[in-house]
Structure 1
Amino acid sequence: MYTKRSPLKGSLLLLLLMLNLLLSRSVESLPICPSGAVNCQVSLSDLFDRAVMLSHYIHSLSSEMFNEFDERYAQGRGFITKAINSCHTSSLSTPEDKEQAQQIHVHPGERENEVYSAWSGLPSLQMADEDARLFAFYNLLHCLRRDSHKIDNYLKLLKCRLIHDSNC
Protein backbone atom coordinates (compact mmCIF):
# COMPACT_ATOMS: atom_id res chain seq x y z
CA MET A 1 0.00 0.00 0.00
CA TYR A 2 1.39 3.37 -1.03
CA THR A 3 0.58 6.40 1.11
CA LYS A 4 1.29 9.86 -0.16
CA ARG A 5 3.68 11.64 2.18
CA SER A 6 2.82 15.21 3.05
CA PRO A 7 5.47 17.63 1.73
CA LEU A 8 5.07 19.56 4.99
CA LYS A 9 6.17 16.57 7.11
CA GLY A 10 9.33 16.14 5.05
CA SER A 11 9.97 19.88 5.17
CA LEU A 12 9.48 20.04 8.91
CA LEU A 13 11.87 17.14 9.35
CA LEU A 14 14.36 19.05 7.21
CA LEU A 15 13.76 22.18 9.31
CA LEU A 16 14.39 20.28 12.54
CA LEU A 17 17.54 18.76 11.08
CA MET A 18 18.68 22.23 10.01
CA LEU A 19 17.97 23.55 13.53
CA ASN A 20 20.12 20.78 14.99
CA LEU A 21 22.95 21.59 12.59
CA LEU A 22 22.70 25.32 13.30
CA LEU A 23 22.82 24.78 17.02
CA SER A 24 25.84 22.50 16.82
CA ARG A 25 27.68 24.56 14.17
CA SER A 26 30.81 26.21 15.52
CA VAL A 27 29.71 25.92 19.11
CA GLU A 28 32.36 24.66 21.43
CA SER A 29 31.65 24.05 25.05
CA LEU A 30 34.84 25.23 26.66
CA PRO A 31 35.29 25.05 30.41
CA ILE A 32 35.56 28.38 32.18
CA CYS A 33 38.23 27.05 34.51
CA PRO A 34 41.17 24.87 33.50
CA SER A 35 40.61 21.19 34.15
CA GLY A 36 41.75 20.14 37.56
CA ALA A 37 41.38 23.65 39.02
CA VAL A 38 40.26 23.33 42.62
CA ASN A 39 39.47 26.90 43.57
CA CYS A 40 38.63 28.54 40.26
CA GLN A 41 37.49 32.16 40.35
CA VAL A 42 35.88 33.77 37.32
CA SER A 43 35.19 37.48 37.26
CA LEU A 44 31.67 38.77 36.93
CA SER A 45 32.82 40.66 33.85
CA ASP A 46 34.02 37.44 32.19
CA LEU A 47 30.73 35.72 33.02
CA PHE A 48 28.76 38.60 31.51
CA ASP A 49 30.99 38.58 28.43
CA ARG A 50 30.22 34.90 27.94
CA ALA A 51 26.50 35.29 28.61
CA VAL A 52 26.21 38.21 26.19
CA MET A 53 28.12 36.32 23.51
CA LEU A 54 25.87 33.27 23.87
CA SER A 55 22.64 35.27 24.00
CA HIS A 56 23.67 37.15 20.87
CA TYR A 57 24.44 33.86 19.11
CA ILE A 58 21.09 32.35 20.15
CA HIS A 59 19.25 35.45 18.90
CA SER A 60 21.15 35.29 15.63
CA LEU A 61 20.19 31.63 15.15
CA SER A 62 16.55 32.23 16.06
CA SER A 63 16.39 35.12 13.55
CA GLU A 64 17.93 32.95 10.86
CA MET A 65 15.44 30.13 11.52
CA PHE A 66 12.49 32.53 11.52
CA ASN A 67 13.59 34.19 8.27
CA GLU A 68 14.11 30.85 6.52
CA PHE A 69 10.75 29.54 7.69
CA ASP A 70 9.07 32.80 6.67
CA GLU A 71 10.60 32.68 3.17
CA ARG A 72 9.87 29.01 2.63
CA TYR A 73 6.41 28.50 4.18
CA ALA A 74 4.71 31.75 5.19
CA GLN A 75 4.84 33.95 2.11
CA GLY A 76 1.41 35.31 1.18
CA ARG A 77 -0.38 33.69 4.12
CA GLY A 78 -0.67 36.81 6.30
CA PHE A 79 0.79 35.10 9.37
CA ILE A 80 2.53 38.23 10.65
CA THR A 81 -0.75 40.04 11.33
CA LYS A 82 -1.99 37.08 13.39
CA ALA A 83 1.35 36.64 15.18
CA ILE A 84 1.63 40.19 16.52
CA ASN A 85 1.09 40.09 20.30
CA SER A 86 0.23 36.40 20.27
CA CYS A 87 3.34 35.15 22.05
CA HIS A 88 2.64 33.33 25.30
CA THR A 89 5.27 35.56 26.91
CA SER A 90 3.53 38.79 25.85
CA SER A 91 1.72 38.95 29.18
CA LEU A 92 5.03 39.22 31.05
CA SER A 93 5.78 42.77 32.06
CA THR A 94 8.87 43.98 30.22
CA PRO A 95 10.08 47.46 29.28
CA GLU A 96 9.04 48.64 25.84
CA ASP A 97 12.35 50.24 24.91
CA LYS A 98 15.89 50.97 26.09
CA GLU A 99 14.86 54.12 27.98
CA GLN A 100 12.25 52.22 30.01
CA ALA A 101 14.72 49.41 30.66
CA GLN A 102 17.26 51.89 32.01
CA GLN A 103 14.70 53.09 34.59
CA ILE A 104 14.64 49.65 36.22
CA HIS A 105 16.63 49.44 39.41
CA VAL A 106 18.88 46.40 39.59
CA HIS A 107 19.31 44.69 42.92
CA PRO A 108 21.57 41.62 42.53
CA GLY A 109 20.32 38.62 44.44
CA GLU A 110 16.83 40.04 44.92
CA ARG A 111 13.99 38.10 43.33
CA GLU A 112 10.53 39.45 42.76
CA ASN A 113 7.48 37.25 42.57
CA GLU A 114 8.24 35.13 39.55
CA VAL A 115 5.47 34.64 37.01
CA TYR A 116 5.85 31.89 34.46
CA SER A 117 3.72 31.85 31.37
CA ALA A 118 3.03 28.31 30.16
CA TRP A 119 3.19 27.61 26.44
CA SER A 120 0.10 25.84 25.20
CA GLY A 121 1.04 25.64 21.52
CA LEU A 122 1.96 21.96 21.22
CA PRO A 123 -1.54 20.84 20.13
CA SER A 124 -1.45 23.47 17.36
CA LEU A 125 1.81 22.00 16.05
CA GLN A 126 0.06 18.62 15.76
CA MET A 127 -3.14 19.75 14.01
CA ALA A 128 -4.28 18.09 10.80
CA ASP A 129 -4.90 21.44 9.11
CA GLU A 130 -1.69 22.42 7.30
CA ASP A 131 -2.28 26.18 7.55
CA ALA A 132 -2.90 25.93 11.29
CA ARG A 133 0.26 23.87 11.73
CA LEU A 134 2.33 26.26 9.64
CA PHE A 135 1.03 29.22 11.62
CA ALA A 136 1.85 27.43 14.89
CA PHE A 137 5.45 26.93 13.75
CA TYR A 138 5.61 30.48 12.43
CA ASN A 139 4.34 31.85 15.73
CA LEU A 140 6.72 29.69 17.75
CA LEU A 141 9.72 30.92 15.75
CA HIS A 142 8.43 34.51 15.81
CA CYS A 143 8.16 34.41 19.61
CA LEU A 144 11.55 32.75 19.99
CA ARG A 145 13.14 35.49 17.89
CA ARG A 146 11.28 38.22 19.80
CA ASP A 147 12.14 36.84 23.23
CA SER A 148 15.77 36.06 22.39
CA HIS A 149 16.17 39.65 21.18
CA LYS A 150 14.80 40.98 24.48
CA ILE A 151 17.07 38.72 26.49
CA ASP A 152 20.08 39.74 24.42
CA ASN A 153 19.34 43.44 24.92
CA TYR A 154 18.59 43.11 28.65
CA LEU A 155 21.80 41.17 29.26
CA LYS A 156 23.81 43.86 27.49
CA LEU A 157 22.05 46.56 29.52
CA LEU A 158 22.57 44.66 32.77
CA LYS A 159 26.25 44.15 31.95
CA CYS A 160 26.61 47.86 31.25
CA ARG A 161 24.97 48.78 34.56
CA LEU A 162 26.71 46.29 36.80
CA ILE A 163 30.14 46.04 35.22
CA HIS A 164 30.64 49.48 33.73
CA ASP A 165 28.50 51.48 36.20
CA SER A 166 26.14 52.53 33.35
CA ASN A 167 29.03 54.15 31.52
CA CYS A 168 28.68 52.46 28.12
Structure 2
Amino acid sequence: MARFLQGSRLYFAVTVLMCAFVSINGVGLNDLLERASQLSDKLHSLSTSLTNDLDSHFTPIGRMMMPRPSMCHTSSLQIPNDKDQALRVPVDELLALTRSLLLAWSDPLALLSSEASSLAHPQHSTIKSKTRELQDNINSLGAGLERLVHKMGSSSENLSDLPFLINNLGQDKTSRLVNFHFLLSCFRRDSHKIDSFLKVLRCRAAKKRPEMC
Protein backbone atom coordinates (compact mmCIF):
# COMPACT_ATOMS: atom_id res chain seq x y z
CA MET A 1 0.00 0.00 0.00
CA ALA A 2 2.85 2.40 0.84
CA ARG A 3 4.35 1.78 -2.61
CA PHE A 4 0.95 2.44 -4.19
CA LEU A 5 0.62 5.76 -2.37
CA GLN A 6 4.14 6.80 -3.32
CA GLY A 7 3.32 5.99 -6.93
CA SER A 8 0.17 8.09 -6.70
CA ARG A 9 2.10 11.06 -5.36
CA LEU A 10 4.67 10.70 -8.14
CA TYR A 11 1.90 10.50 -10.77
CA PHE A 12 0.28 13.61 -9.32
CA ALA A 13 3.57 15.51 -9.35
CA VAL A 14 4.40 14.47 -12.92
CA THR A 15 0.90 15.42 -14.12
CA VAL A 16 1.22 18.86 -12.56
CA LEU A 17 4.69 19.44 -14.01
CA MET A 18 3.63 18.34 -17.49
CA CYS A 19 0.64 20.65 -17.51
CA ALA A 20 2.73 23.52 -16.20
CA PHE A 21 4.64 23.57 -19.49
CA VAL A 22 1.57 23.61 -21.71
CA SER A 23 1.28 27.13 -23.14
CA ILE A 24 0.61 28.94 -19.87
CA ASN A 25 0.57 32.25 -21.72
CA GLY A 26 -2.28 31.21 -24.00
CA VAL A 27 -5.00 31.59 -21.36
CA GLY A 28 -5.72 34.76 -19.39
CA LEU A 29 -5.61 34.91 -15.60
CA ASN A 30 -9.35 35.45 -15.24
CA ASP A 31 -10.07 32.45 -17.49
CA LEU A 32 -7.69 30.25 -15.50
CA LEU A 33 -9.36 31.27 -12.25
CA GLU A 34 -12.80 30.67 -13.75
CA ARG A 35 -11.81 27.16 -14.83
CA ALA A 36 -10.24 26.44 -11.45
CA SER A 37 -13.40 27.65 -9.70
CA GLN A 38 -15.55 25.39 -11.86
CA LEU A 39 -13.36 22.39 -11.01
CA SER A 40 -13.35 23.16 -7.30
CA ASP A 41 -17.12 23.53 -7.34
CA LYS A 42 -17.38 20.12 -9.02
CA LEU A 43 -15.08 18.61 -6.39
CA HIS A 44 -17.23 19.89 -3.55
CA SER A 45 -20.47 18.79 -5.24
CA LEU A 46 -19.06 15.33 -5.90
CA SER A 47 -17.80 14.92 -2.33
CA THR A 48 -21.24 15.96 -1.04
CA SER A 49 -22.93 13.41 -3.30
CA LEU A 50 -20.51 10.73 -2.15
CA THR A 51 -21.17 11.59 1.49
CA ASN A 52 -24.90 11.22 0.88
CA ASP A 53 -24.29 7.79 -0.66
CA LEU A 54 -22.41 6.68 2.44
CA ASP A 55 -25.05 8.12 4.77
CA SER A 56 -27.66 5.86 3.17
CA HIS A 57 -26.09 2.87 4.96
CA PHE A 58 -24.38 4.27 8.03
CA THR A 59 -25.48 3.02 11.43
CA PRO A 60 -25.86 5.09 14.62
CA ILE A 61 -22.98 3.08 16.07
CA GLY A 62 -20.84 4.16 13.14
CA ARG A 63 -21.67 7.79 13.82
CA MET A 64 -20.66 7.37 17.45
CA MET A 65 -17.31 5.93 16.34
CA MET A 66 -16.55 8.83 13.96
CA PRO A 67 -13.44 10.81 15.00
CA ARG A 68 -13.81 14.53 15.69
CA PRO A 69 -13.27 16.97 12.80
CA SER A 70 -10.23 18.33 14.66
CA MET A 71 -8.51 15.00 13.90
CA CYS A 72 -8.49 15.63 10.14
CA HIS A 73 -4.86 15.64 9.00
CA THR A 74 -5.27 19.14 7.54
CA SER A 75 -6.59 20.70 10.76
CA SER A 76 -3.18 22.09 11.71
CA LEU A 77 -3.18 24.43 8.70
CA GLN A 78 -3.93 28.00 9.74
CA ILE A 79 -6.54 29.22 7.31
CA PRO A 80 -9.15 32.03 7.16
CA ASN A 81 -12.40 31.20 8.93
CA ASP A 82 -14.67 33.10 6.57
CA LYS A 83 -14.79 35.19 3.38
CA ASP A 84 -13.97 38.46 5.14
CA GLN A 85 -10.75 36.99 6.54
CA ALA A 86 -9.88 35.46 3.16
CA LEU A 87 -10.26 38.85 1.49
CA ARG A 88 -7.57 40.24 3.81
CA VAL A 89 -5.03 37.53 3.00
CA PRO A 90 -2.46 38.49 0.31
CA VAL A 91 -3.11 36.80 -3.04
CA ASP A 92 0.14 34.80 -2.98
CA GLU A 93 -0.61 33.45 0.49
CA LEU A 94 -4.20 32.55 -0.34
CA LEU A 95 -3.09 30.68 -3.46
CA ALA A 96 -0.42 28.86 -1.43
CA LEU A 97 -3.02 27.85 1.19
CA THR A 98 -5.29 26.54 -1.55
CA ARG A 99 -2.48 24.52 -3.12
CA SER A 100 -1.37 23.18 0.27
CA LEU A 101 -4.87 21.90 0.99
CA LEU A 102 -5.17 20.32 -2.43
CA LEU A 103 -1.76 18.61 -2.32
CA ALA A 104 -2.54 17.25 1.15
CA TRP A 105 -5.34 15.16 -0.39
CA SER A 106 -3.32 13.37 -3.07
CA ASP A 107 -2.45 10.32 -0.93
CA PRO A 108 -5.70 10.17 1.11
CA LEU A 109 -7.81 10.10 -2.06
CA ALA A 110 -5.58 7.37 -3.48
CA LEU A 111 -6.24 5.35 -0.33
CA LEU A 112 -9.99 5.93 -0.53
CA SER A 113 -10.00 4.88 -4.18
CA SER A 114 -8.12 1.66 -3.43
CA GLU A 115 -10.41 0.77 -0.51
CA ALA A 116 -13.79 1.70 -2.02
CA SER A 117 -14.49 -1.59 -3.81
CA SER A 118 -14.13 -3.62 -0.61
CA LEU A 119 -16.39 -1.46 1.59
CA ALA A 120 -19.22 -3.17 3.45
CA HIS A 121 -21.75 -0.95 1.72
CA PRO A 122 -24.42 -1.88 -0.85
CA GLN A 123 -23.39 1.03 -3.12
CA HIS A 124 -19.65 0.29 -3.07
CA SER A 125 -19.43 0.23 -6.89
CA THR A 126 -20.97 3.72 -7.12
CA ILE A 127 -18.72 4.91 -4.30
CA LYS A 128 -15.66 3.52 -6.10
CA SER A 129 -16.62 5.26 -9.35
CA LYS A 130 -17.18 8.62 -7.67
CA THR A 131 -13.96 8.34 -5.66
CA ARG A 132 -11.99 7.79 -8.86
CA GLU A 133 -13.74 10.79 -10.35
CA LEU A 134 -12.60 12.81 -7.33
CA GLN A 135 -9.02 11.73 -8.06
CA ASP A 136 -9.30 12.77 -11.71
CA ASN A 137 -10.70 16.17 -10.78
CA ILE A 138 -8.15 16.86 -8.06
CA ASN A 139 -5.36 16.09 -10.55
CA SER A 140 -6.90 18.47 -13.08
CA LEU A 141 -7.30 21.20 -10.48
CA GLY A 142 -3.73 20.69 -9.28
CA ALA A 143 -2.48 21.20 -12.82
CA GLY A 144 -4.64 24.30 -13.15
CA LEU A 145 -3.26 25.79 -9.94
CA GLU A 146 0.27 25.16 -11.17
CA ARG A 147 -0.54 27.15 -14.28
CA LEU A 148 -1.93 29.92 -12.07
CA VAL A 149 1.35 30.03 -10.13
CA HIS A 150 3.28 30.54 -13.35
CA LYS A 151 0.80 33.11 -14.65
CA MET A 152 0.85 35.11 -11.41
CA GLY A 153 4.58 34.73 -10.78
CA SER A 154 3.94 33.22 -7.36
CA SER A 155 6.37 31.08 -5.39
CA SER A 156 6.11 27.52 -4.08
CA GLU A 157 8.16 28.32 -0.97
CA ASN A 158 5.11 28.98 1.21
CA LEU A 159 3.49 25.59 0.68
CA SER A 160 2.71 23.79 3.92
CA ASP A 161 3.65 20.13 4.30
CA LEU A 162 0.69 18.15 5.67
CA PRO A 163 1.85 14.50 5.70
CA PHE A 164 -0.68 11.69 5.63
CA LEU A 165 0.77 8.65 7.40
CA ILE A 166 -2.16 6.20 7.27
CA ASN A 167 -1.84 3.26 4.84
CA ASN A 168 -5.05 1.36 5.65
CA LEU A 169 -8.53 2.04 6.98
CA GLY A 170 -8.67 -0.73 9.57
CA GLN A 171 -8.98 -4.49 9.87
CA ASP A 172 -12.73 -4.99 10.37
CA LYS A 173 -15.57 -3.89 8.07
CA THR A 174 -17.07 -1.42 10.57
CA SER A 175 -13.78 0.38 11.18
CA ARG A 176 -13.08 0.53 7.45
CA LEU A 177 -16.48 2.07 6.72
CA VAL A 178 -16.21 4.56 9.60
CA ASN A 179 -12.70 5.67 8.63
CA PHE A 180 -13.67 5.94 4.96
CA HIS A 181 -16.59 8.15 5.93
CA PHE A 182 -14.40 10.23 8.24
CA LEU A 183 -11.74 10.86 5.59
CA LEU A 184 -14.40 11.77 3.09
CA SER A 185 -16.03 14.19 5.54
CA CYS A 186 -12.64 15.84 6.04
CA PHE A 187 -12.21 16.17 2.30
CA ARG A 188 -15.71 17.56 1.86
CA ARG A 189 -14.90 20.26 4.44
CA ASP A 190 -11.58 21.09 2.77
CA SER A 191 -13.05 21.06 -0.74
CA HIS A 192 -15.48 23.73 0.41
CA LYS A 193 -12.55 25.83 1.64
CA ILE A 194 -10.67 25.34 -1.62
CA ASP A 195 -13.75 26.36 -3.58
CA SER A 196 -14.29 29.44 -1.40
CA PHE A 197 -10.66 30.57 -1.65
CA LEU A 198 -10.62 30.21 -5.43
CA LYS A 199 -13.79 32.23 -5.75
CA VAL A 200 -12.23 34.97 -3.62
CA LEU A 201 -9.11 34.89 -5.83
CA ARG A 202 -11.31 35.10 -8.94
CA CYS A 203 -13.20 38.05 -7.50
CA ARG A 204 -10.01 39.89 -6.55
CA ALA A 205 -8.48 39.27 -10.01
CA ALA A 206 -11.58 40.87 -11.51
CA LYS A 207 -10.93 43.87 -9.23
CA LYS A 208 -14.40 43.80 -7.76
CA ARG A 209 -15.16 45.63 -4.53
CA PRO A 210 -14.90 43.37 -1.44
CA GLU A 211 -18.62 43.67 -0.73
CA MET A 212 -19.32 42.30 -4.23
CA CYS A 213 -17.29 39.14 -3.68
Normalising by the smaller structure, the TM-score range is 0.5 to 0.7
Out of 96, 99, 103, which is 2:84 matched to?
99
| Residue in 2 that maps onto 1:71 | 56
Structure 2's unaligned 5+ residue stretches are 1-22, 93-151
Q: What is the percentage of aligned positions where both structures have the same residue?
A: 38
1:151 partnered with 2:136: no
Could you tell me how far 1:128 is from its partner in structure 2? Answer: 1.8
Q: Assess, with a 3 A threshold, how the Cα gap between structure 1 residues 74 and 59 changes in structure 2: closer, same or farther.
A: farther
| Residue in 2 that maps onto 1:61 | 46
User: Higher RCO, 1 or 2 (CA under 8 Å, sep at least 6)?
Assistant: 2
Out of 167, 177, 189, which is 1:134 matched to?
177
Structure 1's unaligned 5+ residue stretches are 1-37
Q: Assess, with a 3 A threshold, how the Cα gap between structure 1 residues 130 and 83 changes in structure 2: closer, same or farther.
A: farther
Aligned-partner Cα distance in 2 for 1:65–1:93 = 27
The CA RMSD over aligned residues, in Å, is 2.4
TM-score where L is the length of structure 2: 0.54
1 or 2, which has the higher helix percentage? 2
Aligned-partner Cα distance in 2 for 1:147–1:102 = 18
How many matched pairs?
A: 129
Q: Secondary structure at the match of 1:85?
A: helix
Could you tell me how far 1:137 is from its partner in structure 2? Answer: 0.1
**Deviation readout 1:60-112 (Å, 9 max, x if unpaired):** 00111012112223445225862321210111111111121112122451455
Q: Secondary structure at the match of 2:158?
A: coil
Larger CA Rg, structure 1 vs 2: 1
